[in-house]
Structure 1
């Protein structure tokens, strides 16, 4: 009988251990956990999509080798998420909600506010305040873009800016200067009208507009205008969305002039109101010499390089660049907008100190500089500009100077819905609706989205 009881107790003890093992493992926290006194494993998640080379993977592999050699207590596990952009957001969201969230995640700066609101990200201010490189080398705008409700949640790895691309050959045919810098919106429209009169069979200018091109219409199109007025989209001092303003109406009026059917300066609707308008502009109209002026992004030249989507060796001699002027040339005289990606620490990471050490080391000048050069990204660090390979990239010194005065989209959860309403307002004036009526519809939509108490009007 005793033998039977002893066996029963032994069986119960083993069964208890088996049940406890998963619980004990779960107590380790995120995938960055470790056992005993061994090294801590930090997991880094990022997007990987399309054909190689995968520069994100190359950057982190180099960082992994360097960091693990310098910090024996840290091991890095790379976690590429194979997905297009939309699917990446969805998969990352699911990961950040799980008990095994990655320690470090690649965040679109556009969505930092939403992910903070969801409770996914860790504020980094206590770390960043003690990182002299960050305080001294990251452009102030690049520090602000990842800030939400007064706290910073990410470190930018690269950015982009927007400017005016123009075809020097077409300008010469129109009798316009081939070194061109407009000082107001009126200067842009004047040049477009001159081209329309003097150079037939050429589209004078492109301004992305309407619903099909989504955020390109909002950011490359409308906000490049709005942020050049005295008004804005969001009032950070009052914490309210600006649902109607003189600047908003003026920006809509600019759109209306570009797409006025009786004096069309922009592409026809079959081009503009298409989800492929960006590809048509970059890969067909511009290299074929059919478009004179294009308000677009710093990445455009990548299409025309060897190995790009539309190789065009002559582009460096043919295409000129100008800064986008404010409405009437008022200070600060020029405007641009930036987006880009950052790396953040998940709120569920069990090893935040080690995770920040990984970010700090991976974002060193040499490692981040090589990554920005490979990806044709605009550097968020000022000192990367001094790297010869970076300065040699076509137009990159020009683009980098724009980061000094760049602005960016309001990083709040309501923004994506409000962005769609901006595109709606643009498309309405394209179709003949008055700017007053289009702005009134926008105002009502914003009040519905954000709440009447979270909106204000600027007369």
Structure 2
């Protein structure tokens, strides 16, 4: 048998090379220019996402870092290389850049959620030896913020910002319902009891919002389901056995909570036209909450930025109207409270020729004062403990409370299978919203996850 045409292979290669070059050009081209062993000035290339209207917090951060580093180190030049793209396109473009030593940056902005897949692809440098020589990191970064960037026992990035999830409540509605305005629920039952009281005593409002169903995607699985499940004794993923837990009392109890919120005979949540819409978060946070139409909302720390002077739904009264409470565990057991975090950090590309110098630049960017200002500019919650010592950061509404939650936060399993599994969580939630039993929804979830992760990689409790 004759081998495939070499001519065809050549043109296939040529077409791929041209496409690769075009994509690299779209990313801005050009990576690091000198090695750690070189004698000349080192250029440290920093890649970060830039999207939406200005101002751009990451650009503001790195302009300050560039000025400070270059003033103190004549042999280091910092080259800023923003990638103008939405989140999905950013991942694609940066992956292309990191495949080649010619185009790889030195420092790259990484979604903490993408670290495992980028490590598996060979794109990132383990930072253990650098972090071990930097006492400030171990002392000031919350343990949770160190763990979120760790994969297979090695740390690959330094977080510059995060977020948390909590229970928001409207004090005016609580007062009308005869509920305390300094409310802190201690169990799931406390939340449902307050929602039922609002249902009975304050007509015309949504007693509580819990994101649920497929249209709201990760908001449903993370803000909704996982904020419940992580408050039980049963995990989503068993790190000891390295298996997904597809059947457990905690999983079923979490679905039952969703079922109670969306029980049509005594609806506590939004109607389906709102809940099962891709615009549910916009409707809730930018319209209904400022209008005083939502009693309780399990949501993220970032929603306050909707209501600020430059936000899409300016609401000066929110600081007096909205209360903030910790999400309790199911029965107040264990740690008593639960929250989940995501966020971004900076990593050193595996193909970088300037790893030592890159880390020195990274340390400058991650200083207390730099991250305090970055937190103010970006609206992110700081990953380091001592940032709350900076008055400008601490005095931002909610920041002190949000940073406190980082101390006990948890995060999603950072494995390539998770995005597909997350969709199955959303599906199970939507099924119980439509009347299916929690047991049947959980069984269907288990079958789907078995197909995604493999039968050998799941377990039941």
Normalised TM-score (structure 1): 0.92
Residue in 1 that maps onto 2:443: 440
Residue in 2 that maps onto 1:382: 385
Which whole-Å CA distance do the structure 2 matches of 1:220 and 1:120 have between them? 30
Which whole-Å CA distance do the structure 1 matches of 2:325 and 2:417 have between them? 32
Shift of 1:131: 0.4
1:417 and 2:429 aligned? no
Count of residues paired in the alignment: 430
- Secondary structure in 1 aligned to 2:290? coil
Residue in 2 that maps onto 1:44: 46
Which whole-Å CA distance do the structure 2 matches of 1:380 and 1:402 have between them? 11
1:334 and 2:337 aligned? yes
- Secondary structure in 2 aligned to 1:341? strand
1:140 is matched with which residue: 131, 139, 143? Answer: 143
Which whole-Å CA distance do the structure 2 matches of 1:404 and 1:55 have between them? 24
Offset from partner CA, 1:274-328 (integer Å, 9 cap, x none):
1111111110010001111000000111111111110011110000011000000
Normalised TM-score (structure 2): 0.92
Matched-pair contact (CA < 8 Å) for 2:420–2:452? yes
Unaligned runs of 5+ in 1: 1-29
1:225 and 2:228 aligned? yes
- Secondary structure in 1 aligned to 2:215? coil
Residue in 1 that maps onto 2:189: 186
Residue in 2 that maps onto 1:151: 154
- Secondary structure in 2 aligned to 1:213? helix
Shift of 1:369: 1.4
Which whole-Å CA distance do the structure 1 matches of 2:423 and 2:412 have between them? 13
1:68 is matched with which residue: 70, 85, 91? Answer: 70
Shift of 1:34: 2.8
Residue in 1 that maps onto 2:277: 274
Shift of 1:445: 1.1
Which whole-Å CA distance do the structure 1 matches of 2:325 and 2:85 have between them? 35
Offset from partner CA, 1:84-112 (integer Å, 9 cap, x none):
11221222222222341111110111111
Which whole-Å CA distance do the structure 2 matches of 1:236 and 1:189 have between them? 31
Shift of 1:51: 1.2
Shift of 1:58: 1.0
Residue in 2 that maps onto 1:110: 113
1:365 and 2:382 aligned? no
Residue in 2 that maps onto 1:299: 302
- Secondary structure in 2 aligned to 1:393? coil
Which whole-Å CA distance do the structure 1 matches of 2:228 and 2:45 have between them? 41
- Secondary structure in 1 aligned to 2:216? coil
Which whole-Å CA distance do the structure 1 matches of 2:327 and 2:51 have between them? 32
Bigger shift: residues 237-246 or 207-216: 237-246
Which whole-Å CA distance do the structure 1 matches of 2:298 and 2:43 have between them? 45
1:265 and 2:268 aligned? yes
- Secondary structure in 2 aligned to 1:101? coil
Residue in 2 that maps onto 1:55: 57
1:311 and 2:314 aligned? yes
Aligned-pair Cα RMSD in Å: 1.3
Unaligned runs of 5+ in 2: 1-29
Shift of 1:211: 0.7
Shift of 1:240: 1.2
2:354 is matched with which residue: 346, 351, 355? Answer: 351
Which whole-Å CA distance do the structure 1 matches of 2:89 and 2:322 have between them? 35
Residue in 2 that maps onto 1:34: 34
Residue in 2 that maps onto 1:81: 83
Which whole-Å CA distance do the structure 2 matches of 1:161 and 1:65 have between them? 32
Which whole-Å CA distance do the structure 2 matches of 1:97 and 1:205 have between them? 47
1:164 and 2:170 aligned? no
1:285 is matched with which residue: 284, 288, 297? Answer: 288
Which whole-Å CA distance do the structure 2 matches of 1:225 and 1:97 have between them? 39
Matched-pair contact (CA < 8 Å) for 2:428–2:442? yes
